Structure 1
């Protein structure tokens, strides 16, 4: 793979944060241990923005009939327009993860879908049509998403039927397909022994098999599977994703699998490769509100599926590298990409316009995609709730503020904290220690994003102001936590006229942001808000132009069909403005 390198932009405010906190104590950097992902059962979300928006999607899932899930996008005859196992697998994954994240029992329709699957299996033990012996059918290989769903379902329920069906996928698709990849794009073998039946739309999606292979590897480990995954990653590195105009979702879920493989086996070249894949995506196929082109070089629409995976990839990259730019990207993708992609007046996800290229200044919904994006969005909510905090050896790391109660199971005893916040609309967060079973000092690390106004940062512990201690863009609070302790962190967030992510796509234009929120104007006709426009805050992240009857509103609210007060009346949000 060629690396189409540009320099990743790191917000200049991160530099300002370090320079301006003159009254702050800066701690020396230390060699960190890798943060540890927490179990869903130890994270209880509470009322707030994320729970509300996740609830839209969860309630939609509960209304699905088993027939809808089992027949949508499905065929038992070879087709370039049906992906057997794909919709089913996405629903299994999202319904399982979102139910766990929301502390809900297994939905009845999920039980019925699982009960129906054994009767749908073909003679090789998977769904859809029987693949050719060489397995070189890119569309038929959509069973890989079914494998992901079966893995997540088994890890939650320990259902033996799910385990057996998943084993069939590994034995009859994942393991036998390796040779076919020598004949894929940038083929190593030229004898034409294998001819791929390529998917005409989702270019290069076949390598997405790396994702379920790595997810299921702990269930079905073998030297043969390990060797195959290593070889598939090597072959994938040979493909120029930009040159072939690869589908972005396929690139991102393959990247997720490569990162998982790095976690399991620690080959640094795999981490470097995953970073290069994400950088190419960010620099060449990300829109001005942090969504995605559907393909490299083809900014025709965005896709909710890819937004979900870009979000999980950034959070995983931060966990594995500690690089702050990935964590900031996660905030920006969550609030401006994922939430703005939620469609209509429900929990669907789908396609939006690409802001930035093609002279497009408007963000608009272009329709739900119930066969793919809608049944992938729930996974996005579940993972962001899970990855908003991580365990460290002696405490807790908070990466994204949100209302929840978290139990950190530490070597010296458990620590239970309740977090309340108005973020992203306001810069404040409050922690209450509900219980602490350790007399040892514990450290609470709280991420301080670059849009924080440095001189506004204040920290209070049990009503007393303390001097903030900062290390690597995190506030460090080290103390022996006691039941009843109250920790309050307050900071202002910058409202700013910002350059485009990539100004050459739309020269002479700018955006407006408040904190992590991209702001938009409810309009389907281009309006003028030049750089010198004066604004005043009107609350909840909104800003009113002083000399015009225009109010900028967070795009995540403008595109929320259930938000009666803020949703766009025109169905359109202008987010780019002429200088």
Structure 2
């Protein structure tokens, strides 16, 4: 079981003050990235050979591959994600080998794929949309490749030709006639056109040509209302619009994306797991790894642009729950299926090697780019530590690293250690985020094993604690002239919170002592579930009315919580052991609740997270 919020960073072995003990194998993001690369390198069904990757641009009738009509989709995603997450020489050599084969596949008019498809407005339909989608993903891939290999001018030239192709067909595609013709066509819908804004913005950055950005700006206005659209394409268009905002600072662009985000929240499209389904349809039964990757990245973009806690809280909820849960034991990302109580297995596991595996890798690589946040408090500079992942952060000559640790004397607490690496000779601030899911946060400064000053603590505001997604910011600010080698041990007692199906938050003392109420259980940032691998008898028929029995108060709860699972590889992830009454018989049984993301290391099974419960 490996599912912790950590940045893609080097692990350090530390001897910690205040009774903290360092742990190994705790870098979940690096581990998750490694699992994707193992999928590319070792899994043979299907194997990621050159022919397999390039089938959507070569269109060889002797090698038909699923979705090769989305020309550039797999090939573009693969070269882009691997270029951004390259492990070094071997990956670079593979990328260059692939690029040598991709470039000759470009058609005379700049497109990749079927050269016979007409882009006259009267002819444009689902087939043209498929080509545009794949070409959009390939344009992004070409430009991300060019960031790693800027000396390869032929790649930029190919990207320019592809961008020019889009500009030529832009007016023919952007008509009400075409929109109406492809409306309701799911993954072949109009989002295949609007998602081009991401690649066009990258092309504007690479070339300095504003014409590409001017066209990219038009896409969000062309994006139809949410409706029942394909969420991946919808979110990709919003990400592209945010990229234009990042380049221009135009507040109207940001406002447009925030309005659409507000609409997703108000409509109930965002699940209790922190992400979205594959389509904006309430009765749909599966998610999509690409969607969860896009939503995570969009939340991070909005957080960086606005500093609003709600976007960081959304990113945290998505990452810790639905995103990590979406990865399969093979390393693939894809489609998980749901019923009314949670995750369920499905015939033919939805390991989406045709898109999600690469898109998940690309999102993982983004994580460490969004966690360095300089702050200023009363004229004093410093660092904002979000306390949601391991990371290394710096602001000029003030540098620190953040790692997870275990507090042996308080095994029920989530703990971090912040080590100051370099510090100037003036007062600086370490501003520690106090998340809404915390019951209490405490911080102790030490040097060479000796405590410096008193332990200080803070709780989130009552408003933040009452919301599943907090919109108010609380922080604990540590101001001092720091020394290299000083360490701050941060202990967070996670709140046990219960959400109903309307998203309202309830605390432990709000559960009934008689009868039962249906709730989803959150421990800190984690949505907890009952996994059939760990609890094989819990889901024996009939189980829909099983009743979890909660302790009467927080003090008693601590006896049921461990932050150090006994499963292999599990460090700083909660387990809550509870009694329950099965729907089929009156005997008291025992179940262990774990984060729903625990399923990502095992074959698919039932993982329920909506349960009936009461206090005992």
**Deviation of residue 397 (structure 1)?**
2.8
**Deviation of residue 249 (structure 1)?**
0.6
Q: Does 1:248 align with 2:265?
A: no
Structure 1 422/59 Cα, relative in aligned 2: closer, same or farther at 3 Å?
farther
Q: Does 1:509 align with 2:509?
A: no
Q: Does 1:53 align with 2:86?
A: no
Write out per-residue CA displacement over residues 251-284 of structure 1, whole angstroms, 9 at most, x where no aligned residue.
1111111111122223322212211222333443
| C-alpha distance in 2 between matches for 1:74 and 1:577 | 50
Q: Does 1:351 align with 2:351?
A: no
| C-alpha distance in 1 between matches for 2:344 and 2:528 | 11
Identify which of 187, 193, 200 aligns with 1:201: 187
| C-alpha distance in 2 between matches for 1:196 and 1:441 | 60
Structure 1 residue matching 2:305: 3-state secondary structure: helix
Map 1:115-134 onto structure 2 (within 5 A): 115-130=100-115, 131-134=117-120
| C-alpha distance in 2 between matches for 1:160 and 1:339 | 37
Is the contact between residue 36 and residue 332 of structure 2 (CA under 8 Å) also seen in structure 1? yes
Map 1:232-311 onto structure 2 (within 5 A): 232-236=219-223, 239-242=224-227, 245-282=228-265, 283-297=267-281, 299-311=284-296
Is the contact between residue 412 and residue 561 of structure 2 (CA under 8 Å) also seen in structure 1? no
Q: Does 1:155 align with 2:147?
A: yes
Identify which of 28, 49, 65 aligns with 1:65: 49
| C-alpha distance in 1 between matches for 2:56 and 2:213 | 33
Calculate the TM-score normalised by the size of structure 1: 0.79
Structure 1 538/392 Cα, relative in aligned 2: closer, same or farther at 3 Å?
closer
Structure 1 517/72 Cα, relative in aligned 2: closer, same or farther at 3 Å?
farther
Structure 1 422/93 Cα, relative in aligned 2: closer, same or farther at 3 Å?
farther
Give the structure 2 partner of residue 450 of structure 1: 436
Structure 1 315/162 Cα, relative in aligned 2: closer, same or farther at 3 Å?
same
Is the contact between residue 66 and residue 109 of structure 1 (CA under 8 Å) also seen in structure 2? no
**Deviation of residue 378 (structure 1)?**
0.5
Unaligned runs of 5+ in 1: 1-38, 188-194, 562-567
Structure 1 495/222 Cα, relative in aligned 2: closer, same or farther at 3 Å?
same
Structure 1 379/108 Cα, relative in aligned 2: closer, same or farther at 3 Å?
same
Write out per-residue CA displacement over residues 281-313 of structure 1, whole angstroms, 9 at most, x where no aligned residue.
344323332232111125131000000010011
Give the structure 1 partner of residue 594 of structure 2: 553
| C-alpha distance in 1 between matches for 2:268 and 2:38 | 35
Give the structure 2 partner of residue 434 of structure 1: 421
Unaligned runs of 5+ in 2: 1-6, 13-24, 43-47, 461-471, 505-515, 533-538, 552-556, 565-573, 580-587
Give the structure 1 partner of residue 605 of structure 2: 571
Structure 1 538/227 Cα, relative in aligned 2: closer, same or farther at 3 Å?
closer
Q: Does 1:314 align with 2:296?
A: no
Identify which of 342, 358, 381 aligns with 1:375: 358
Give the structure 1 partner of residue 131 of structure 2: 140
Structure 1 138/324 Cα, relative in aligned 2: closer, same or farther at 3 Å?
same
Write out per-residue CA displacement over residues 38-75 of structure 1, whole angstroms, 9 at most, x where no aligned residue.
x99xx646652222222211332344322221126974
**Deviation of residue 337 (structure 1)?**
1.0
| C-alpha distance in 2 between matches for 1:139 and 1:301 | 22
Give the structure 1 partner of residue 165 of structure 2: 172
How many residue pairs match? The answer is: 506
Give the structure 1 partner of residue 561 of structure 2: 537
Larger Rg: 2
Structure 1 66/473 Cα, relative in aligned 2: closer, same or farther at 3 Å?
farther
Identify which of 370, 376, 389 aligns with 1:387: 370
Structure 1 residue matching 2:297: 3-state secondary structure: helix
Write out per-residue CA displacement over residues 329-351 of structure 1, whole angstroms, 9 at most, x where no aligned residue.
111100111110001x2210000
Q: Does 1:473 align with 2:466?
A: no
4+ runs of 1 displaced by more than 6 Å?
Answer: 76-81, 102-105, 195-198
